[in-house]
Structure 1
């Protein structure tokens, strides 16, 4: 059994432990495993770091992220400069094919579109953009269209999940419809939920993942 106060203290401690977030103005609200982050950070990279840090904490069932990016004078960059930096970053990254992604920048907010073969490429593109100066947020509309060789093997996916030491695969089920995989069942942390989805995305032929896994914890 964990109390809301216990969880809030753990979240605050974890955020302060990260060097990138020590001076960030982040507020934390906890209720029955739902953690809400409020306040301000001066870069989108810090926003992503706060999000990933909280997701790793035991007891967090849902993350509601309401952080706002506010730049100081040094963080102000034009949309054209941001767009050029993004194109250069993608050009020099070997994981992302050239000319596969279209970029739109409006008021420091970036929208990514296009088609890629693997989800890790889509995540790489998002992280590349998130680390650039002047970016306030990212809308990732990149779709996945990996090559399909026959039907998607359900047993192979479950076997891959069972090989991950952090996940109890006995409490996870999945349904496959054409190129879409739906995850259902119970996990015991938000990290496990996202790790299971990550494994599914590594399966050839998967274009869509619907993650309905529930995070169970007593409060």
Structure 2
């Protein structure tokens, strides 16, 4: 098992290696294998990338993000400009009905709402607008339309987890309640945890995924 100092060194090197991130603006602290990132970054995309970088290491139990986004002048946009660009991105996305998702912007915080047919569409809408200039944060309030849930959905998810999430799949308990999937168990890394959640979101009939998976030995 790595010590907190070894985890800290790994995370710092990963942040410095990732070309999306300006690691000079990030301080890293680790206590009991919980990583805390603090500082200032130039974009929301950097903030998300920093969080993912810290989650990539086996043994990291959690990541606390205390990073502020401070846009440089060249990237600042009015709320109206952000809203217009976001609408265009959603309209051009082939996986979405252009009228299904509504949006609002306040002080650079972009909120998505509306109703879609699949869980993966909800996540795709968020991803489509995350990297726009001027965006300080994205709040996803999109809901997934109710649809019949196959009685064998737990088995389907388990099979998907075995295909993608590997040896840890058999350690996951899947429960279903009216289209809401709850995942419980212990994973070896955040990467496996992410694959497990994405597999659940891709199943037919899923409207919500509750992630109660822990990471650790």
Interval of TM-score (by shorter of Structure 1 and Structure 2) = over 0.9
> Following superposition of structure 1 onto structure 2, how do residues 8-19 of structure 1 map, counting pairs within 5 Å?
8-19=8-19
CA RMSD between the two structures: 1.6
Distance 1:103 1:49 in 2: 23
Measured after TM superposition, the shift of residue 136 of structure 1 is 0.5
Matched, 1:53 2:89: no
**TM-score of the aligned structures, taking structure 2 as reference length:** 0.93
Which secondary structure does the structure 1 equivalent of 2:20 belong to? helix
Measured after TM superposition, the shift of residue 86 of structure 1 is 0.4
Distance 1:13 1:186 in 2: 26
* Larger relative contact order, structure 1 or 2 (CA cutoff 8 Å, min sep 6): 1
Distance 1:209 1:36 in 2: 25
Distance 2:23 2:12 in 1: 12
Measured after TM superposition, the shift of residue 42 of structure 1 is 0.7
Measured after TM superposition, the shift of residue 152 of structure 1 is 4.7
Measured after TM superposition, the shift of residue 24 of structure 1 is 4.6
Please identify runs of 4+ aligned residues in structure 1 that moved more than 6 A.
none
Q: Deviations over 1:43-79 (max 9, x none)?
A: 1111121122222222222111111100121122110
Distance 1:14 1:72 in 2: 24
Q: Deviations over 1:17-47 (max 9, x none)?
A: 1112145501111112211111111111111
The structure-2 alpha-carbon separation of the partners of 1:165 and 1:108, relative to structure 1 and needing over 3 Å to count, comes to: closer
In the alignment, which residue of structure 2 is the partner of 1:180? 180
Measured after TM superposition, the shift of residue 166 of structure 1 is 3.8
- List alignment gaps of at least 5 residues for structure 1: none
Q: Work out the number of aligned pairs and report it.
A: 217
Contact 1:37 1:67 in 2 (8 A): yes
Distance 2:210 2:151 in 1: 18
In the alignment, which residue of structure 1 is the partner of 2:107? 107
Matched, 1:30 2:30: yes
**TM-score of the aligned structures, taking structure 1 as reference length:** 0.93
In the alignment, which residue of structure 2 is the partner of 1:161? 161
In the alignment, which residue of structure 2 is the partner of 1:68? 68
